[in-house]
Amino acid sequence: MKLRLLPLLAIIVTFLFSCSKSDDNNDITKADILLFDNVKNTSPVFLPIESYSMQPAIKSDNWGSGNAIYTIYGTLRSYTHPQDDGVIDRSNIYKSMFDLESLLNSDSDSDNLLTETKELIPAFDFGNTRSYDLYTEEDDFCVAYKELDNSKSAIIGWHWYDEGNALKIETGVAQLIVNNNNTEIDIDMVFAVDYDITTTDTDYNIRLKLTGNPTTHQFQFQYRIGKTSIVASGISQGADNYFLFKIKGDGTPNSNTTYYFIIPADANEEYLKNLTFDDAYTNGDDITDSRVTSYLTFVRDTPFFDDSDMVTDLNDLNKGNSRQGTMYVNYQ
C-alpha cells in the first residue's frame, strides 16, 4: 500500500520547524526536537518475541486481534523504520509519531496565514486554546506553530490517502507541546480512517493523550482504539520500575468490567502473552502494591475515552464554523 504524503517521507529523524517572522511573515527554519524519540523515552516500549522485529508477532489461539492485552502490546510495540513498515500500522503510537514527525519536518513554501500572534483551536477541540505565531496550509496538511523560551507548541492536521483505494482516507489532528530540554512532552491526537469517502461517518477511530518526561520516563497515558479503552501511568524504563494499566471494552472477558494490570518496565511481548485476565484486579481500591500505589489515583480516577472523544464523523471537525468537516484550523 502506498500513501501519498506529498514529498514528506524523506527519512528524517528531526522533527519540528521553528519560525522567525521576516517582513513578509514567511520564513520557516528547522529546529532540533525529536518527537519520535521523546515519545519512545516517555511511554512503555514492548519488544517483540522475535529477535528481528520485522517478523510478525507470534500468534496463537488466544494471542492476537480480539485480545485486549494484545491490543496493549500492539499499541506500544517497538517500531523501527524501515524494517517494520508493512508489519506495523498507525494503531501503533510509535509508527504514528514517526510519520507525524516526518510530516512536521517537511519543507513548506506556503505563506504564513497569520498577521499576528493569535489564539487558535484545532479542528478537533481538545479543550484548550493556545496562541501561535505561524499557520500554514498545504493540500494534505496544515501546521500552526509557536516557540517560547522553554518549549515549542504545534497544531497539525493531515490527510493520508491510499493510492490503491480511492475511497479511503485517513484523517488526523494533533496538538502538542515539547519542552526544549526534553523534560516534558504533551500530545493529544485523534485519528480516523474512512473506507468510503462518499459518506462522512468514519470506520476506524483512535484517540491518544500522552504526557510525561522523556528523561525520567514518567508517563500518563490515555488511549482508545475502536471500542477498547486504556489508561496507564508509571515509569516506563529502568530496573525495578513498574506501571499500572487499566483496560475496558472489546477483547476483555466482560466489556463492562475494568481490569487493572501491574506491569514491569522491562516487560516484552512474551511477558504480556503470558498474562491472563485472571492476573488482573477488577477494583482499583483493592490495589495496595507499593510498586504502583503512587500511580493509582490517576489510573483509577481518570475516565476512559468514549465515542464523544473521537472523530466518529468527519463533521465532528470544526463544528460550528465555515470549515466544518475539514482538518484545517479555522484561523480567521
Render pLDDT for 11-61 as a digit per residue (tens, 0 to 9).
222 333 434 434 444 454 435 557 899 999 999 999 998 744 444 545 556
For the chain, list the strands marked E by DSSP. Answer: 3-4, 17-19, 28-30, 118-120, 130-132, 134-137, 141-147, 151-162, 165-179, 185-194, 204-212, 218-225, 228-235, 242-249, 259-264
In whole angstroms, what is the distance from residue 81 CA to residue 51 CA? 16
Reading the block at residue 308, the C-alpha cell is 464523544
Mean pLDDT of the chain: 87
pLDDT above 70 coverage of the chain, percent: 86
Over the stretch 246-273, which tens digit does the pLDDT of each residue have?
A: 999 999 999 999 999 999 999 999 999 9
Place of cell 516487560: 267
Structural element, H or E, at residue 271: helix 269-273
> Which one is predicted more confidently, 23 or 188?
188
Question: Cα dihedral angle (245, 249, 253, 257), rounded to 10 degrees?
Answer: 70
Residue 54, pLDDT score: 44
> Which one is predicted more confidently, 108 or 96?
96
In whole angstroms, what is the distance from residue 206 CA to residue 234 CA? 22
Answer yes or no: is pLDDT of 6 > 50. Answer: no
Answer yes or no: is pLDDT of 103 > 90. Answer: no
